[in-house]
Structure 1
Amino acid sequence: MKKSKLILAAVLGLALAMGASAKTFITIGSGGTTGTYYPTAVGIAKIINENLPDVKANAISTGGSVYNAGAIQTGDLQMTMIQNDIAYYAFNGIVVEKFIGKPADKLRGMATIYPEPVHVFARKDSGITSIADFKGKKVYVGDIGSGVEQNAKQVLEAYGLTFDDLGTAVRGKPKQAAQLLQDGRIDAMFYTAGVGSSAIAQAALTTDIVFLPIEFAKIDFLKKKYPFYAEIIIPAGSYKGQDKPFQTVAVKATLAASADLDADVVYQIAKLIFKDKVDQFKAIKPVIAQHFSVDKALDGMPIPLHKGAAKFYEEEGIAIPDAAKPID
């Protein structure tokens, strides 16, 4: 009898071990905690954990899009939020120094979610009235390895400036930058995020700031050289003290996954958040509710889809653009 109990215990232990090993663990990369990527990733992880018992997801704050693409390649992340322009550069091994000759070819698309305007703003008492005035100023240009860094570099290029022309190109987290702006230790900020980002709202609440539009000629330059940019108008009243709309450029927040992630798991996740629980997904942030729809989820998708996501879109009758056709 004792021997039978020992055998039974061993069998049960093996079954439990196999069950544990069968669970898929997914780490979702985002960005700074004050941006829109982090709550979006947290919300996606919550939906997954509440509805897919064989999948365990957690969201982490990261340095942003460039880091996230590299972490997908190394296996430190299995899913991520990422700007569509950085996804394209990373997958193709171009433009961004980190990926030139070393493409993040494990990166696969799942959906584009909402536009991310490039916000440019300065303290009113800085004397800055245009991005052209940034020469010699202390300007936050994004965290090292972030999409913001690339956007800042490209917008400055449109004005004939580089980081070297700034008095100081300030790095770090957006929340820290907002505090520096409030304290008068920097003059201006670049920040690429959905309208209503808490870091920008914090800056507007605590400091008299002026939002700096990108002139139409500069927008044309950016759209021609960097085709992922689109013109966008930030409505008046989006932030405290912003009494008129202003034009800028935007990229698209994109959900991506590793090619190494099981296709059936990715299919289940896509079906869950883009269809079965889409209302819960849209409720994560107002910007998602305003802009996301499954029939437009491949607009601006610049990299091949994960084959699990492709299966979902095919079932929904949604045409997959050539750039997004799966390659696996």
Structure 2
Amino acid sequence: MNLKRRSVFFKLVFVLLTLVLVLAGCSQSSSTSEQGTGEQKPELDSIIITSGPQGGTFYSVMAAMCEHLPRDIEGLTVTGIEGAAQENLRTVNRGETHLGTFWSNEFIDAIRGQGTFENEKLEKLRAVCRLSTGMQYILVRADSDIYTIDDLAKAKGLKFSPGEVGSGLESSFRAIFNGAGYSYEDILNNGGEIIYEQYGRFAEMMGDGHLDAFFLGAPYNSPHKSALQIETSIPLRVIPIEGPWVETLCEEIPSFQPGTLKAGVYKGQDQPVPVIEYYTMVGTNIDVPEDLVYEIAKSIYNNIDKWIELAPQLEEFFSGGPEEFAKGFPADSLHPGAAKFWKEVGAIE
């Protein structure tokens, strides 16, 4: 073979090899694309859980999941971050976090696009399980002339805190206050003030005279630590949440139920007081793989005793049967992986 023919030969070989490599790359890309558009979702070996601030029940729950999920699910890495109730819903919906602790009433608003989430329907949110039952109520200075929600709405110059803006606490109070036929405007029109503040500052503000009444979500039939701190120097009184409107409210918001705070939870509280019970929950994104969510639900259910060690306030709820885990949210909002597990243990049909 002369030099010219040899040169042409090697050029032809080079072109053919290049063509083969290009076709192989296209084939691999096409295969990857087809897998991405099919039903099979990629495996997750690392997840992020978003919770509440340190010191709260949500944070204790997150700590428990960070400890036990990696033990139960081989190869899984779990990172926990602090969040806020409404933002937790949004980050999970966007896929920036994979699990979140929510107030159930806000989860329902988010998936329906109502209330705080009007015109912002979060369509990728799914439920994993109910977490616990708590109690919500209003506390005022014991020496005040406020005895009912009507009195609260009509009080002159009232300094009231429903919690922080964007919190599940504030959202719940607004729903309850609206259910009673009032709005924040009623307080403001009577010269009052709505103070959006975290409950950790309530004691200081009550002591300084900058707060007259506030709203809390507390563990079931147990005192809230902020209220306990306040009543060491300022006696408090729990305002009853009662009336025909309560039943209507609870029908509209299935994560609310009429409840009764037993006598003796706070100093001077000699009688039971009608309050609102609420549910908290764990949620996820529909794109989190079904087998992973199944294992997460299984780990939660199988570690009840360990969870109670980390968060004793959960004991009252976890003493119920498996059906307790599937309450407080619409049945069709369950993630398929969670639904599969709760069916296996008899929590749902």
- Say which of 307, 313, 316 aligns to 1:281: 307
Q: Contact between 2:160 and 2:214, CA under 8 Å: does it hold in 1?
A: yes
**Partner residue, 1:144:** 165
Q: How does 1:147-166 map to 2 (within 5 A)?
A: 147-166=168-187
**Partner residue, 1:10:** none
**Partner residue, 2:148:** 130
**Partner residue, 2:205:** 180
How many angstroms apart in 1 are the aligned matches of 2:74 and 2:233? 43
For residues 263-320 of structure 1, what are the alpha-carbon distances to aligned partners after superposition, in whole Å with 9 as ceiling and x for unaligned? 2222222111202x22212333333211124232112232511122122123223324
Matched, 1:237 2:237: no
Q: Identify if the C-alpha distance between structure 1 residues 40 and 259 changes in structure 2 by more than 3 Å, giving closer, same or farther.
A: same
Q: How does 1:255-294 map to 2 (within 5 A)?
A: 255-275=282-302, 277-292=303-318, 293-294=321-322
Matched, 1:313 2:342: yes
How many angstroms apart in 1 are the aligned matches of 2:180 and 2:44? 51
Q: Identify if the C-alpha distance between structure 1 residues 120 and 34 changes in structure 2 by more than 3 Å, giving closer, same or farther.
A: farther
- Say which of 54, 62, 72 aligns to 2:92: 72
- Say which of 205, 218, 221 aligns to 1:193: 218
Q: Contact between 1:23 and 1:54, CA under 8 Å: does it hold in 2?
A: no
For residues 166-223 of structure 1, what are the alpha-carbon distances to aligned partners after superposition, in whole Å with 9 as ceiling and x for unaligned? 2111112221234323432111111223233333333344531111111233423423
Q: Contact between 1:112 and 1:255, CA under 8 Å: does it hold in 2?
A: yes
* Shift, 1:151, TM fit: 1.6
Structure number, greater radius of gyration: 2
Q: Contact between 1:42 and 1:58, CA under 8 Å: does it hold in 2?
A: no
Q: Contact between 1:35 and 1:193, CA under 8 Å: does it hold in 2?
A: no
2:218 aligned partner, one-letter code? A
How many angstroms apart in 2 are the aligned matches of 1:297 and 1:56? 24
Q: Identify if the C-alpha distance between structure 1 residues 44 and 239 changes in structure 2 by more than 3 Å, giving closer, same or farther.
A: farther
Q: Identify if the C-alpha distance between structure 1 residues 127 and 146 changes in structure 2 by more than 3 Å, giving closer, same or farther.
A: same
How many angstroms apart in 2 are the aligned matches of 1:174 and 1:26? 30
**Partner residue, 1:84:** 104
The share of aligned pairs that are identical, in percent, is 26
**Partner residue, 2:128:** 110
Count of residues in Structure 1 that have an aligned counterpart in Structure 2: 296
- Say which of 180, 193, 196 aligns to 1:171: 196
Q: Identify if the C-alpha distance between structure 1 residues 245 and 306 changes in structure 2 by more than 3 Å, giving closer, same or farther.
A: same
Q: Tell me the secondary structure at the aligned position of residue 230 of structure 2.
A: helix
Q: What are structure 1's unaligned runs of at least 5 residues?
A: 1-20, 321-328
How many angstroms apart in 1 are the aligned matches of 2:231 and 2:179? 26
* Shift, 1:243, TM fit: 3.0
* Shift, 1:107, TM fit: 1.0
The TM-score normalised by the length of structure 1 is: 0.81
How many angstroms apart in 1 are the aligned matches of 2:255 and 2:304? 26
Q: Identify if the C-alpha distance between structure 1 residues 227 and 48 changes in structure 2 by more than 3 Å, giving closer, same or farther.
A: closer
**Partner residue, 1:297:** 325
The TM-score normalised by the length of structure 2 is: 0.77
Q: Contact between 1:32 and 1:174, CA under 8 Å: does it hold in 2?
A: no
